[in-house]
């Protein structure tokens, strides 16, 4: 067993939370490429240097702490949702740094650390690791825009003076990502650890419907081409159309809506909204896409111009059997009878990294199953249990 230092780990996790600390409880606002995110990465680079690792920013802001020679890679992301918690991503990065320190103190095995950039998809879906792994071409990523119309190439320029090239992935022998579950299962059962079996796939695209902007007092209801009403109809219809295709594990979300011009006395002429869907079966994801496109066309009819933004997506991926087995053995040692195998319904950088090397993931419970919210939290004893399980797995490899 590696001698990890729980207090040092928890203190560094709390220190990271100070960058972008917001809202009630332990909330953070640290979206990718914002001042808080960049400041956190600069701080993390110094922490890596102090830990004897060589900090390395790549052209999209992924930050690696490299040790010499071949090594395991551990980490996650340190950007957050526009309203996020202190653990989503941060946990995996600070656990990685603690284990890198512990392995150096113990004389091995060599561990490098990474904080991927824009995992939370201000621009794409797990953008930084997707570019690094070749799931998303950099020139395509550069044309993506956030919800305010800022382009990815403009945002990532903030790292131009720090950036070196992309890190050669062949120096890493495997990747472990520790994360909060972000769902209700472990919290409900009282189990302490989830060893991830596979990560679901995702599709995400913008849909745009344009009708006719007009006066909200004088335009008769039957003559309106109201973009909000079109979106409402689409949302109702899609829930019905999916019914025969989905399983209880399938999820879909309209999470961002931009209504133009968004004023009480104007019949809205245009709506741009996000449509995202996730499932463990790639065929089902494709079938859902057909239904989405057909339903949007039906709603648009003659009255609305319909267009679609770029389709972003990641395929479902299984975890590596050997690394997953190391986590399972360690979980049984640290928390006997209190762990389970489980799929991940959230996306993770591990999906992209699995193109490059063997990967595995472990979860700790989320209190109340809450995440992507300021209220996200985990009992600190559970965070330490996760750290010990990860350290145990690393020590056996």
Q: Please identify, among the stretches 62-70, 82-90, 220-228, 314-322, the one whose residues bind Mn ion according to the rule CB under 5 A.
A: 82-90
Is residue 178 near ligand GLV by the rule CB under 6 A?
Answer: no
User: What is the smallest separation between the CB atom of 243 and Mn ion, expressed in angstroms?
Assistant: 28
- Dist. CA 289–CA 245, nearest whole Å: 11
Do the beta carbons of residue 118 and residue 127 sit within 8 Å?
Answer: yes
Is residue 346 near ligand GLV by the rule CB under 6 A?
Answer: yes
Nearer to ligand GLV, 150 or 346 (CB): 346
Nearer to ligand GLV, 282 or 297 (CB): 282
Residue 193: strand pairing partners: 339
- 47, interface contact from Mn ion, ligand GLV, none, CB < 5-8 Å by kind: none
- 4, interface contact from ligand GLV, Mn ion, none, CB < 5-8 Å by kind: none
Q: Tell me how crowded residue 205 is: count the other CB atoms within 10 A of its CB.
A: 18
Is residue 89 near Mn ion by the rule CB under 5 A?
Answer: yes
Is residue 118 near Mn ion by the rule CB under 5 A?
Answer: no
Map tokens 């950099």 to a residue. 138
- 269, interface contact from Mn ion, ligand GLV, none, CB < 5-8 Å by kind: none
Nearer to ligand GLV, 116 or 176 (CB): 116
Residues of span 78-137 touching ligand GLV by CB under 6 A: 120
- 373, interface contact from Mn ion, ligand GLV, none, CB < 5-8 Å by kind: none
Q: Please identify, among the stretches 50-58, 83-91, 227-235, 317-325, the one whose residues bind Mn ion according to the rule CB under 5 A.
A: 83-91
Nearer to ligand GLV, 120 or 198 (CB): 120
Nearer to Mn ion, 227 or 350 (CB): 350
How many residues in the shown chain lie near Mn ion by CB under 5 A?
A: 2
- 347, interface contact from ligand GLV, Mn ion, none, CB < 5-8 Å by kind: ligand GLV
User: What is the smallest separation between the CB atom of 200 and ligand GLV, expressed in angstroms?
Assistant: 9
Do the beta carbons of residue 376 and residue 369 sit within 8 Å?
Answer: no
Is residue 370 near ligand GLV by the rule CB under 6 A?
Answer: no
User: What is the smallest separation between the CB atom of 173 and ligand GLV, expressed in angstroms?
Assistant: 26
User: What is the smallest separation between the CB atom of 139 and Mn ion, expressed in angstroms?
Assistant: 26
Nearer to Mn ion, 242 or 277 (CB): 277
- 3-state SS, the chain, equals CCCCCHHHHHHHHHHHHCCCECCCCCCECCCCCCHHHHHHHHHHHHHHHHCCCEEEECCCCCEEEECCCCEEEEEEECCCCCCECCCCCHHHHHHHHHHHHHHHHHCCCCEEEEEECCCCCCCCCCHHHHHHHCCCCHHHHCCCECCCCCEHHHHHHHHCCCECCCCCHHHEEEEEEEEECCCCHHHHHCCCEEEEEEECEEEEEEEEEECECEECCCCCHHHCECHHHHHHHHHHHHHHHCCCCCCCCCEEECCCEEEECCCCCEECCEEEEEEEEEECCHHHHHHHHHHHHHHHHHHHCCCCEEEECCCEEECCEECCHHHHHHHHHHHHHHCCCCEEEEEECCCCHHHHHCCCCCEEEEEECCHHHCCCCCCCCCCHHHHHHHHHHHHHHHHCC
Map tokens 């979300």 to a residue. 253
Name the token pair of 89: 């991503």
Is residue 88 near Mn ion by the rule CB under 5 A?
Answer: yes
Nearer to ligand GLV, 125 or 391 (CB): 125
Name the token pair of 272: 């741009």
Of the candidate residues 48, 275, 347, 389, the single one contacting ligand GLV (CB under 6 A) = 347
User: What is the smallest separation between the CB atom of 3 and ligand GLV, expressed in angstroms?
Assistant: 32
User: What is the smallest separation between the CB atom of 77 and Mn ion, expressed in angstroms?
Assistant: 6
Nearer to Mn ion, 89 or 313 (CB): 89
User: What is the smallest separation between the CB atom of 182 and ligand GLV, expressed in angstroms?
Assistant: 7
Q: Could you list the residues that contact Mn ion (CB under 5 A)?
A: 88-89
Q: Could you list the residues that contact ligand GLV (CB under 6 A)?
A: 120, 346-347
């Amino acid at each position: 067993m590696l001698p990890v230092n729980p207090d040092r780990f928890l203190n560094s996790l709390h220190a990271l939370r100070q960058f972008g600390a917001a809202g009630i409880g332990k909330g953070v606002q640290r979206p990718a490429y914002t001042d808080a995110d960049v400041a956190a990465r600069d701080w993390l680079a110094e922490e890596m240097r102090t830990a004897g690792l060589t900090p390395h920013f790549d052209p999209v802001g992924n930050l690696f702490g490299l040790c010499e020679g071949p090594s395991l890679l551990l980490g996650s992301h340190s950007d957050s949702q526009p309203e996020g918690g202190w653990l989503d991503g941060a946990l995996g990065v600070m656990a990685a740094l603690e284990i890198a320190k512990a392995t150096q103190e113990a004389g091995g095995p060599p561990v490098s650390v990474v904080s991927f950039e824009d995992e939370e998809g201000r621009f794409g879906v797990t953008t930084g690791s997707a570019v690094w792994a070749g799931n998303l071409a950099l020139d395509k990523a550069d044309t993506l825009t956030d919800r305010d119309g800022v382009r990815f190439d403009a945002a990532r320029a903030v790292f131009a003076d720090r950036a070196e090239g992309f890190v050669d992935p062949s120096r890493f022998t495997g990747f472990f990502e520790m994360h909060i579950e972000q769902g209700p299962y472990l919290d409900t059962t009282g189990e302490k650890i989830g060893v991830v079996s596979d990560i679901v796939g995702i599709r995400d695209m913008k849909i745009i419907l344009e009708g006719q902007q007009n006066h909200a007092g004088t335009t008769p209801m039957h003559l309106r081409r109201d973009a909000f009403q079109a979106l409402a109809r689409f949302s109702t219809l899609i829930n019905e159309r999916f019914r025969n295709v989905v399983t209880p594990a399938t999820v879909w979300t309209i999470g961002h809506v931009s209504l133009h011009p968004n004023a009480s006395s104007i019949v809205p002429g245009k709506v741009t909204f996000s449509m995202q869907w996730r499932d463990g079966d790639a065929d089902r994801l494709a079938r859902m896409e057909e239904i989405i496109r057909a339903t949007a066309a039906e709603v648009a009819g003659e009255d609305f111009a319909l267009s679609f933004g770029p389709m972003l997506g990641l395929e479902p991926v299984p975890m590596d059997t050997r690394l997953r087995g190391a986590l399972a053995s360690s979980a049984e040692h640290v928390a006997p009878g209190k762990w389970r195998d489980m799929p991940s319904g959230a996306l993770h950088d591990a999906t992209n990294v699995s193109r490059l090397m063997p990967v595995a993931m472990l979860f700790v419970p989320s209190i109340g199953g809450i995440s992507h919210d300021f209220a996200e939290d985990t009992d600190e004893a559970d965070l330490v249990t996760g750290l010990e399980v990860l350290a145990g797995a690393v020590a056996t490899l």
